[in-house]
Structure formats: C-alpha cells, structure tokens
Structure 1
Amino acid sequence: MELSRTFAWEGRRIAWDTRGDGPAVVFCHGTPWSSATWAPVADALATEYAVHLWDLPGYGRSSKDPAHDVHAGVHARALAALLDHWGLERPHVVAHDLGGLVALRAHLVEGAAYASLFLADVVAIGPSGSPFFRFVQEHRGVLAGLPAYVHEAVVRAYVGDALHRDLGSETLDALVAPWLGAEGQAAFYRQIEDYDVDLIEADERALPTLDLPVRIVWGTDDGWIPLATGRRLAALVPGAELTEIPGAGHLVQLEAPGEVLTALSAWLARGA
C-alpha cells in the first residue's frame, strides 16, 4: 500500500492511506522504520477490515522539517488528531517498536479510545535505548555531517542488526531508503536525539490502569528488545495475552509475517 494522501497538522505533513471495508484497524510503526514495515500485513487484512497506515512525522514519506520535535509525545498527539480526522471512534490499533509507546500515550494521555491494542516487540517499558542511541545523543549534531557513503553504511548496519532472519537486499534497501539524502540523513539522527526516556517511564507507571483488551507478540530472538522485556510488559498490563514467535527478531512482522498475521487475524476476529 502506497501512502497517497496527506494530513496537515501543526505545520507538518503526515502521509497516510487506507484500504478495505469493515472494522477499522490502525497500524503504528516504530523507529527507524516507516509504515512499510506493516504494509504486507495491512494488505492481507484489507479484504475484511478498513486498514489505515501512516508515517510518523519525521519518518518515511511524512515531512522532516528540522524545526519540528519528533519525540513520542508529539507522535501521540498526531495519532489522536489523525483518529479524529478519519472519524474513527474506537479502532483496533496495531503497533510495533516506538509505535507502542505512541499508541499507549495517545490512549493514556491524549484520551484516544481503542477497541483493542495489539503490540509487537514494542517500546513501552525500560530499559530502553541502545549503545548507538546513547552515542548519538552524546554527540548531538555531529553524525548528521558524516559523508553520505559512511552514513549509508551506518544505517545499513543499524537496520541489519535488528534482524534475526535474512530478508534479502530488496527489503533492506526499502528500510534504509527513507534515511538517505541530505534530508533523510539529518532526520535519522534527529529522531534519535529527540528520543525521550522520561515518556517511557511515565507511561510504564500508568500501564496497570489500562482497561482494554491487549495482545502482545514477541520474537524470541529480538536482539534490540529482549523477550524478557515482552514478558515483563505482559505481566504489567491487566489481562494481557502474550504470544512468543520462535526464531524471529525485532522486525517480527517482516521476519515471521505468517505467524503475526495469524495471531492478529484471530485477535481481531474475537473483538471485531
């Protein structure tokens, strides 16, 4: 699914699109990804559901203005505004990586109402932030000036580190592409520099108050956010169900699309 529509919000241009009819399902991607990570699953669901994809401001096809903040608090407000723009009152929300924090914060802080929440290898509780994140934050503004070929090598290595299974060069190229060029390079480091651990800690304290159906899936070989974190998250969320997907890494929806689609389809069928 290509994002052919845009939503103007607080000076930003948010790329989005929708397909299909039926109960609404909204997908949220994480960092350093785009909606492309959810596109195959969304396409498969579009025969029975109205699926909505969007790129976070500062990511993918959305605007990357250096004057704009790109932390999860901003993205949560953007999600709440998008739900209002789409006229969706209680959609099912599906989130990966930082998208988990965005979706949770949109619900807990911005008051967005969901029918259910499906979380895949999400950023939601600590510890958070890789050694690479800390390095970029300690050297703000420096890496944006790297020669383009060095920057591309850095992004390729970073993205590749998230994978447990080989997805092939075409998929890797698609994941790296939004961060190339002068605009993409600056935006790549800016979204790391703007990463706010305090938001994670605040939302973690609020997790026991969640009052909606929550399903969690986790790749057993996630090298970025270990399975132990997923198990701890499931223990913190009242009534949450956890499915562990063997042999999958952090990009579980691309590494094990069949397993994720099966789990998500069964979950939606229960609550649609």
Structure 2
Amino acid sequence: MISKTAIVDGITMRWEETGEGTPVVLIHGIPTSPALWRHVAPRIPKARCLAWEMVGYGESIPEGRDRDISVGRQADYLASWLEHLGIEQAILVGHDLGGGVAQIAAVRYSGLCRGLFLTNAIGYDSWPIPSVKAMRMGGPLLRHLPDLAFKQVIRTFLQRGHDDSTRAKEAFEAHWPHYRKHDGAAAFVRQANSLDVQDTMAVAGDLPGLGIPARIVWGAADQFQKMEYGERFAHDLSAPLQRIEGGKHFTPEDHPEIIANGINQLMADAADAESTTGAGGDNDIASGV
C-alpha cells in the first residue's frame, strides 16, 4: 500500500491506498492505525482500498492535539476527506472505533455509504471497554508513564485481543512506533478522553432505516466487543452474520482472509442492489450535519 497525505480543512490527513475500482474505505480503531488492514487490502482485487487514518491516531497523532477527536467528529473528518478526493460513494468498513465512525457517517451523510461492513466494532452502549475506562480514570498518572512501561501496556492490550500470537507480535511492531514517536502515553490518554458512548447511542435508532447492503463478521471469543453486539448489528441492519469461532478482537490481523472475503461479498451485494434498483444513487456529502 502507498502512503498518501492531503490537507483537508486545515488538517493533514493520511491514508494508505492500493488498487483500482470501487472505493472501499477501511477504518481502524484504538490503539491501531491503517496498518491494521495490511493483510486485508491486498485480498480485495476489484477495489480501490483506502485505509484512512483517524485524526489523532497513528502518524496523525500530532493532528489530534487541541482538536476534537471523538468518534462523532471523526465521521465528519472522514466525509470531508472523501469529498476532497471526489469520492461520492464508498463501501465503509470499520473495526473497533472505526466501526462507530462508519455507522455515524452512514447515518449523517445520506448516500455516502454504498455498503456497511462491521467487524468487532463499537456500537450502542458497548464502549468504552472497562480497560480503556480504567486507563482514562488513571489518565493524570498514565500520561506521565515512562515509554518502557507504557510499551508494555500496549503490548498487553494487543495480546489480549489476538488469538494468533504471531500476529499479535507483528501488530505490536506495526502500531507501537506511532506512540513511541508521538507523545507516548499522553497520546493514548488524549484518545481515551475523547471517547463518548453517546456518539453511537445517538445513531443506534437510525441503523434499521439505513436500507443499505451490510455484512457483519465477528470474532466470537472477543472479550472487548461481545458477540451479542454483533448479533444486534445483524438484526438492525438485516445483515448476514459470520462468526469466527475462537476469533478475538483484532480480526483484520488474525483472520484477513475471512474479513477480505466478507468485504468482497458485500461489494457483490452492493452491485446487485444497484442493478436491481437501476440507480447508482445521487448523494450530497455536504448535506451531513
């Protein structure tokens, strides 16, 4: 994947891009970055995959200083970025916090979301998870934690969410350097302090009315985002639900083949829906609130 940047509304936004075809926007969560999708994007051959980096995360941590980096605001940043790129409609794929961003964008920006794919995503009242709440409560102390100690916090957090130990080690090497380079524990505390469950609660009642193709793939052994939330998404979005038995939280890293296959199937669903309705759908990104 190729790293790209653009200045959008005064913010330097970064993403990783590969391929051509239908725009598929891949949105990571915490404590990850676009590298979360490194094994997924190459397996989506008919798409222009854009792994967007949330403002205040990854290499974009400096852009989050003194800015609103809540999940709700990230949806607005995402829509502005897509408008900047001239992308009127895209398949939105979200993991963890990125799933919340995708849901909010789909609700706020009519016509923007061509299809919605969620894997072990936040939603409803499922977050922040207890460990993140604890870190937030300990923020005044945590933000001054030496890098060596904070490094172990991130390592442990990632290990708990992976069912593949090799991929857990690889994930640490992919995501930790951003914290080491940019603010360390203080960056994580800033991210944690921005989390507000009302962001997803505010759109929960709108999910059943979206009327767009959707698919849910869930690691059934996830202790961060429980299986019951995957089932609820499937019900509200009238979407197929695929369980990854034994799978934990970081499904795009542990099970990229399954995630990519689900996204490819969603792309086919979206294409079928368009051919059935005979319309690509007019939309106006700027119409969001």
TM-score by length of 1: 0.92
Q: Deviation string for 1:47-75 (max 9, x for gaps)?
A: 32211122101111224242112111221
Structure-2 change in CA distance of 1:63 and 1:11 (3 Å): farther
1:178 counterpart residue number:
178
| Higher RCO (CA < 8 A, seq sep 6+) | 2
Distance in 2, matches of 1:139 and 1:33, equals 21
1:191 counterpart residue number:
191
Structure-2 change in CA distance of 1:13 and 1:135 (3 Å): same
Q: Is contact 2:104-2:200 (8 Å) kept?
A: no
**Number of paired residues?**
269
Tell me how far 1:168 sits from its aligned partner: 5.1
2:55 counterpart residue number:
57
2:159 counterpart residue number:
160
1:81 counterpart residue number:
80
Letter in 2 for 1:91: A
Letter in 1 for 2:95: H
2:209 counterpart residue number:
209
For residue 81 of structure 1, give the secondary structure of its aligned residue in structure 2. Answer: helix
Moved segments of 4+, more than 4 Å = none
Distance in 1, matches of 2:107 and 2:182, equals 36
1:1-272 to 2 correspondence within 5 Å?
Answer: 1-3=1-3, 5-45=4-44, 47-64=45-62, 65-111=64-110, 113-166=112-165, 167=167, 169-181=169-181, 183-237=183-237, 239-272=238-271
TM-score by length of 2: 0.87
For residue 217 of structure 2, give the secondary structure of its aligned residue in structure 1. Answer: strand
Letter in 2 for 1:60: G
For residue 142 of structure 1, give the secondary structure of its aligned residue in structure 2. Answer: helix
Distance in 1, matches of 2:23 and 2:99, equals 18
Structure-2 change in CA distance of 1:184 and 1:85 (3 Å): farther
Q: Is contact 1:73-1:102 (8 Å) kept?
A: yes
Consecutive unaligned residues of structure 2, counting only runs of 5 or more, are 272-289
Consecutive unaligned residues of structure 1, counting only runs of 5 or more, are none
Letter in 2 for 1:12: I
Q: Deviation string for 1:106-157 (max 9, x for gaps)?
A: 1212446121111111112223222222223323333111111111111111
Structure-2 change in CA distance of 1:112 and 1:144 (3 Å): farther
Distance in 2, matches of 1:100 and 1:114, equals 13
Structure-2 change in CA distance of 1:171 and 1:135 (3 Å): closer
For residue 49 of structure 2, give the secondary structure of its aligned residue in structure 1. Answer: strand
Deviates more, 1:165-174 or 1:66-75: 165-174
RMSD: 1.8
Distance in 1, matches of 2:24 and 2:168, equals 28
Letter in 1 for 2:35: A
Letter in 2 for 1:8: I
What percentage of aligned pairs have identical amino acids?
30
